[in-house]
Structure 1
């Protein structure tokens, strides 16, 4: 059943309203504190511009990184985010040094219609992750209504993205609305054949979505470090590779749940191996039954790439979460690069998600426009596709 969402289109009068907007500006940074990927920042532009055009008084809230409780780590202040925001969107923004207090009170009082304020990192306060009622109430006091546009944090029940909904009329921003609609349609009415391509490092983070998709996907294609666990569970030696051997029985069970897992649940038949992870690594292409004990599996091989692409090209819907190889290094990037190219501009529904997947398509020069939908949520996307009710989604489907 389609989810009924209350969006900012439903709030007809926005002029002069103090609108608290929870965005996901948790952006990756390098060791020098410079932002390396602005995907999530750019994804919020439609909501923010709409509110500005409607002459709302916009107050943005976000977390950044994982600061220690009540420690204001200078590297995790929102200053660089505010600077990047202004540079990209050409929108003036006043960045506050705190989340609340006299300075914030005064700044919001003086905020004019169509202006934007960004509060300091909400996770500088330990009360944020506890969804503390008093902290939440203080944040809520700055707004007349609340817009949640942070899908990347929708699986968390924190003060700034969920708790505020207890105090203010609550709406979905355009990003959150789009994520909900696309992923709901994927779960309920996907065009078939449906192919689920899953990679990444560990099985633990993908168990739920794998179990959920085994009954929905026509074919599951496995790559990355995740595939090593399934290769091991299939009776092959994975050498010195990343492998969760204690998850062997779980992997066997997941494969056995496919009536004919050799056709519906595919693991690599050949792999790229090396004795080190480096740009100058010497690589070998081997069948999975021939991996020596002293080498690591670091990418899918050419025969596997060809097989996976053949299946993808016949699909009507493809979901990709997690790279099939260690794409950050050139010797192990071919699998990921080939999958990205194969999916780009494919005349079918292509849905991508996960931070590494997004990073990979950018690395290999692809535009988001080449795919049907690129999700801004990693963990949130996986939990949504598991069929879980996300706190940040629930609040925009409740009557307020």
Structure 2
């Protein structure tokens, strides 16, 4: 999403073939008055490694050749405030490379925000659920879907192949 807005994201992992879709989604959200929350700061590192040199930077200041591997504390605050009054929280995808402790703080913080929210909380996908378990919050999540891609298809309103097959039974 950041790159689709013209920001230089350094060597961060980006699905370039999805940039147009990200741009279109942001445009549609603006047209409908829907607020989309994107990172304002990140933890950037010179490489993906536990011993990498890393620092907190704004999303406009990711150094060339570096990669964003976690959200920063200002983003944690923005996202936490956005979730504070939510009635339902649906979460798919960790905030960063939580498998490496140096890049886990954002995911850990948001895990605890979601787990302590007075909301229906639904997580989907193996990485998200692994993070929730790693940070000891599984008992405080309303529902953890292990469906991965099927979870996302259902959220998009698509018919799941397994359910469609049962229609003829």
* TM-score normalised by L of structure 2: 0.91
Instruction: Give the 5 Å matches for 1:105-116.
Output: none
Return 5+ residue gaps in structure 1 as ranges.
1-229
Of structures 1 and 2, the larger Rg is shown by 1
Partner Cα separation in structure 2 for residue 307 and residue 301 of structure 1: 10
Are residue 254 (structure 1) and residue 28 (structure 2) matched?
A: no
Instruction: Give the 5 Å matches for 1:1-400.
Output: 230-259=1-30, 264-367=35-138, 369-396=139-166, 398=167, 400=169
Partner Cα separation in structure 1 for residue 159 and residue 21 of structure 2: 24
Secondary structure, aligned partner of 2:51? coil
Kindly state the Cα deviation for residue 247 of structure 1 after the two structures are TM-superposed: 3.3
Partner Cα separation in structure 1 for residue 21 and residue 168 of structure 2: 41
Partner Cα separation in structure 2 for residue 358 and residue 309 of structure 1: 19
Output one character per residue of 1:219-272: Cα deviation in whole Å (capped at 9) or x when no partner. Answer: xxxxxxxxxxx1111121111111233433322111101126896112111111
Q: Which residue of 2 aligns with 1:72?
A: none
Kindly state the Cα deviation for residue 388 of structure 1 after the two structures are TM-superposed: 1.3
Partner Cα separation in structure 1 for residue 10 and residue 55 of structure 2: 13
CA distance 1:353–1:281, change in 2 (3 Å): same
* TM-score normalised by L of structure 1: 0.40
Contact 1:255 1:261 in 2 (8 A): no
Return 5+ residue gaps in structure 2 as ranges.
none
Secondary structure, aligned partner of 2:30? coil
Secondary structure, aligned partner of 1:259? helix
Kindly state the Cα deviation for residue 348 of structure 1 after the two structures are TM-superposed: 1.0
Q: CA RMSD in A?
A: 1.9
The number of aligned residues is 169
Partner Cα separation in structure 1 for residue 79 and residue 111 of structure 2: 12
Kindly state the Cα deviation for residue 376 of structure 1 after the two structures are TM-superposed: 1.8
Contact 1:233 1:252 in 2 (8 A): yes
Secondary structure, aligned partner of 2:123? strand
Output one character per residue of 1:36-83: Cα deviation in whole Å (capped at 9) or x when no partner. Answer: xxxxxxxxxxxxxxxxxxxxxxxxxxxxxxxxxxxxxxxxxxxxxxxx
